[in-house]
């Protein structure tokens, strides 16, 4: 495997980690105003992701940094072309982070309710934007012969990309509700399980629609790159298994299934792209690939050595965090997060 291909795979792995971890993180934030009936319950829900949410976002920073270092032309074209969408994403993440920190600073109900809705908005917008972005990567965007994005913001909005955004948000809501069944107890847990049972059907319909539209609006499965083959089919089978695990109250297995669906869906997107990293809708020859978008060979060599030394440490720390804070959260805990 060439270093260019290796770094494409590593970036894929980083995005899988980000979507898996931040997926339940966003999902919990979206469900906060609806599953929490009072301030105590909402604080329990917030504390279920309290030790994890900022660590989960590190995966995005690492993926962005790896993209910048390994494929600078990809980074430049993506961030300039999707500038407004990324600005909205950044504002949502800032608002969300501030809301977590300021939520319990005052006892006033109006103060806390305001921050509850900021957490909701800051958790809902990012998955929609990520779904729209991934759909555009698969569909192709207007890129000229000089690797410049020549479209506008509205070029990124279409039926296909909107369905992609909603599918991502619904899948993350399902993932987040199942996380709550593992991290909370009592009424919140029962409520989360019931919600997961309902939202699972809606998420399945939207994801199936997205796959169907992918055949219409993209060159998925019809080109010279890596054929995803059975990967999306397996993702669909695992998604269909989730309701059976929920009804059997096997919450852990249901959560693992949604996590695998997220991972396999991400793999499908990147397999569909390879060896391209951004598809030009103007001329296929103007697409960015792992070759013309990459750094020089020496830079990739140095980065590979650094990555293989640092990544195990980061993984060990993240696993340790989840082990330490594995206990369920309940109203009897100290909730002033």
- Walk me through the domains of the chain, giving residue ranges and CATH numbers: 3-324 (1.20.1630.10)
Task: Name the least confident of 56-60, 156-160, 163-167, 203-207.
Answer: 56-60
Mean pLDDT of 57-83: 91
Are the C-beta atoms of 18 and 288 separated by less than 8 Å?
no
CA atoms of 122 and 127, how far apart (whole Å):
10
What is the percent of the chain with per-residue pLDDT over 90, rounded to a whole number? 68
- Give just the sign of the alpha carbon dihedral 15, 17, 20, 24: negative
Q: Is the pLDDT of residue 326 over 90?
A: no
Residue whose entry in the numeric block shows the structure tokens 């499908």? 268
CA atoms of 203 and 162, how far apart (whole Å):
14
Q: Is the pLDDT of residue 99 over 80?
A: yes
Q: Is the pLDDT of residue 243 over 60?
A: yes
Average pLDDT, the chain: 90
Residue 195 binned pLDDT confidence (cut-offs 50, 70, 90): very high
Top pLDDT among 325 and 126 is at 126
Residue 18 binned pLDDT confidence (cut-offs 50, 70, 90): very high
Residue 166's Cβ-count burial label (10 Å; 0-12, 13-18, 19+) is buried
- Give just the sign of the alpha carbon dihedral 196, 125, 220, 277: negative
């Amino acid at each position: 495997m060439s270093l260019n291909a290796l770094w494409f795979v590593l970036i894929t792995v980083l995005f899988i980690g980000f979507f898996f971890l931040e997926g339940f993180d966003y999902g919990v934030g979206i469900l906060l105003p609806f599953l929490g009936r009072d301030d105590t319950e909402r604080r329990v829900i917030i504390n279920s992701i309290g030790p994890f949410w900022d660590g989960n976002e590190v995966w995005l920073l690492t993926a962005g940094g790896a993209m910048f270092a390994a494929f600078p032309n990809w980074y430049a074209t993506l961030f300039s072309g999707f500038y407004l969408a990324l600005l909205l994403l950044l504002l949502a993440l800032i608002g969300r982070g501030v809301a977590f920190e300021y939520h319990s600073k005052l006892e006033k109900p109006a103060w806390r309710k305001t921050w509850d809705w900021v957490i909701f908005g800051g958790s809902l917008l990012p998955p929609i934007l990520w779904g729209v972005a991934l759909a555009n990567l698969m569909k192709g965007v207007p890129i000229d012969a000089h690797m410049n994005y020549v479209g506008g913001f509205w070029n990124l909005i279409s039926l296909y990309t909107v369905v992609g955004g909603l599918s991502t948000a619904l899948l993350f809501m399902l993932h987040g509700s199942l996380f709550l069944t593992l991290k909370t107890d009592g009424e919140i847990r029962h409520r989360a399980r019931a919600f997961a049972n309902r939202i699972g059907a809606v998420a399945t319909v939207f994801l199936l629609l997205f796959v169907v539209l992918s055949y219409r609006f993209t060159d998925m499965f019809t080109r010279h790159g890596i054929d995803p083959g059975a990967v999306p089919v397996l993702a669909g089978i695992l998604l269909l298994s989730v309701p059976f695990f929920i009804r059997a109250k096997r919450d852990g297995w249901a959560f693992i299934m949604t996590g695998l669906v997220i991972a396999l869906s991400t793999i499908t997107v990147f397999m569909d792209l390879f060896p391209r990293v951004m598809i030009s809708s103007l001329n296929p020859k103007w697409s960015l690939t792992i070759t013309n978008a990459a750094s020089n060979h020496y830079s990739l060599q140095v980065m590979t050595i650094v990555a293989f030394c640092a990544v195990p440490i980061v993984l060990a720390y993240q696993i340790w965090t989840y082990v330490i804070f594995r206990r369920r959260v309940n109203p009897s805990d100290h909730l002033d997060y």
